């Protein structure tokens, strides 16, 4: 049961990152009357996504910790590292990158930094989800 909860949290995390960056934000810029309005709404959605990422990561760590006990294999350390790195990416975006974008401070640089951090987070969580749903060898 706990394994399924961890997979559900990972699926929510990866799916929400995918939906927001792949569909929602591009639709905002395509359909709202001005880029400034679309950017404002996108910024609020990204902030919510950052908190969803932190909540999902914490949930997976808690479920994993209760289920596995202390990690003892390289694979366990790798999983914890990917989760922690993904959560750190969300925190850096929320507390470091977003305020600079809102202040319009070197906008191109900080948009690029935020995009790279989201892409890294998406890849890490995707890898975790892939591994978590792998069928055991028979």
C-alpha distance from residue 94 to each of 48, 126, 132 (Å):
9, 21, 27
One-character DSSP codes across 64-76: HHHHH-S--SHHH
Q: Which two tokens stand for residue 126?
A: 């995707």
pLDDT the model gives residue 33: 96
The Cα–Cα gap between 65 and 121 comes to: 21
Q: What is the mean pLDDT of residues 112-133?
A: 96
Say which residue, 63 or 47, is predicted with more confidence: 47
pLDDT the model gives residue 68: 58
pTM, 2 dp: 0.89
Question: pLDDT tens for residues 4-60?
Answer: 899 999 999 999 999 999 999 999 999 999 999 999 999 999 999 999 999 999 999
Coil, helix or strand at residue 81 = helix
């Amino acid at each position: 049961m706990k394994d399924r909860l961890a997979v559900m949290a990972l699926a929510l995390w990866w799916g929400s990152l995918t939906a927001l960056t792949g569909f929602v934000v591009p639709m905002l810029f395509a359909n709202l009357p001005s880029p400034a309005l679309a950017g404002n709404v996108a910024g609020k959605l990204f902030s919510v996504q950052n908190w969803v990422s932190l909540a999902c990561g914490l949930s997976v760590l808690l479920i994993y910790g209760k289920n596995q006990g202390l990690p003892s294999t390289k694979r366990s350390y790798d999983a914890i590292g990917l989760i922690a790195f993904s959560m750190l990416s969300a925190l850096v975006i929320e507390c470091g990158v977003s305020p600079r974008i809102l202040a319009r401070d070197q906008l191109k640089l900080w948009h690029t930094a935020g995009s790279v951090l989201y892409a890294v987070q998406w890849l890490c969580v995707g890898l975790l989800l892939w591994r978590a749903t792998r069928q055991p060898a028979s």
